[in-house]
Amino acid sequence: MKILIFGSSGLVGKSLERVLSNSTKVDELICSTRNDTDLTDLISTKEKISHIKPDLIIIAAAKVGGIFANDTYRTDFILENLKINMNIFEGCINFPNIKIINLGSSCIYPLNAQDPISEKSFMTGTLEPTNSPYAMAKLSAIEIGRSLNKEYGNKVINLMPTNLYGPNDNFSLENSHVIPGLIHRMYLAKNAGDKEFKIWGSGKPLREFLFVDDLSNFIESILDFKDLKYDLYNVGSGEEVSIIELAKMIKKVLSYEGNINTDLSMPDGNPRKFLDSGRVNETGWKAKVKLEEGIKITYEWFLSNLNNQIRT
């Protein structure tokens, strides 16, 4: 197979490159970044797709961030993510044989969806307000993909992973997701000798986390699209942890000796978000990397890339 990855410089893209480079199913792997293709520009995107003519496109490109970034840069999040997905799908219209794996997010599900959240909760209620623009863009991508499939024939699989983390994550102090953000801030607190470390919100919300290579291994297993009953799959680890317990786990990995307290002036977000991964488990896949092990791997990558990779 000839596979084109859009968004290959990010957390998921780098993981996919590691995993798919060693796959016997892949004959040619093209890893595209914003340096060679502006996905917010339709002409540039169409030219890339028509030039490569891949068998499969994996959409790993997205503007992503944590609660603070999603709630602060709302316009940027919805516009950029809409443009990326619209342009890629439109670029495939003249190539009905191109298959597409579209990567979304568990934030597409309603705020009050019953846990564990099944794929049947899709489009059944109001979104969580702090990241609704991003979620709306991801919801639109699913609908565009379904329209493309029905009208032009392209096979599209939508994967909704839970909170991802791992090497090559964004460790920004303000705009990152929870695990890389906590690692970076706690690393600074440790080096400064701070006796107190504050986590945002109450620490009570429950979250599910998935090591990014587990997602990539699932993608590798479905490259041929065989025996897939659905076009929408949740991809979760099957384990959840409170934010305060997560912070304690990171404290242990970093050997930080200060006290962990809460900052109630910051938002909690959704109180619980736990995916029903029954569909994906039926394919024979299950997550393998335990949370503490994954945090250790992520922290080692963070330390080895302090000088040239960490975005502040």
Q: What is the pLDDT of residue 308?
A: 61
Contact 46, 37 (CB under 8 A): no
Whole-model pTM? Answer: 0.93
Residue 209 β-bridge partners: 163
Decide: 147 and 306 in contact? Cβ < 8 Å: no
- Report how far Cα 235 is from the mean position of its chain's Cα atoms: 10
State residue 76's pLDDT score.
95
CB burial class (10 A; 0-12, 13-18, 19+) of residue 191?
exposed
Tell me how far apart the alpha carbons of residues 251 and 296 are, in angstroms, rounded to a whole number. 11
Q: What is the pLDDT of residue 67?
A: 74
**127: Cβ–Cβ under 8 A, 6 or more apart, which residues?**
107, 108, 110, 111, 135, 136
Active site (catalytic) residues: 134
CA 213 to the chain's CA centroid: 11
Q: Per residue of the chain (312 residues), what is the pLDDT tens digit?
A: 999 999 999 999 999 999 999 999 999 999 999 999 999 999 999 999 999 999 999 999 999 877 788 888 899 999 999 999 999 999 999 999 999 999 999 999 998 899 999 999 999 999 988 889 999 999 999 999 999 999 999 999 999 999 999 999 999 887 788 999 999 999 999 999 999 999 989 999 999 999 999 999 999 999 999 889 999 999 999 999 999 999 999 999 999 999 999 999 987 877 888 999 999 999 999 999 999 999 999 999 999 998 765 554
Bond into 54 cis (ω within 30): no
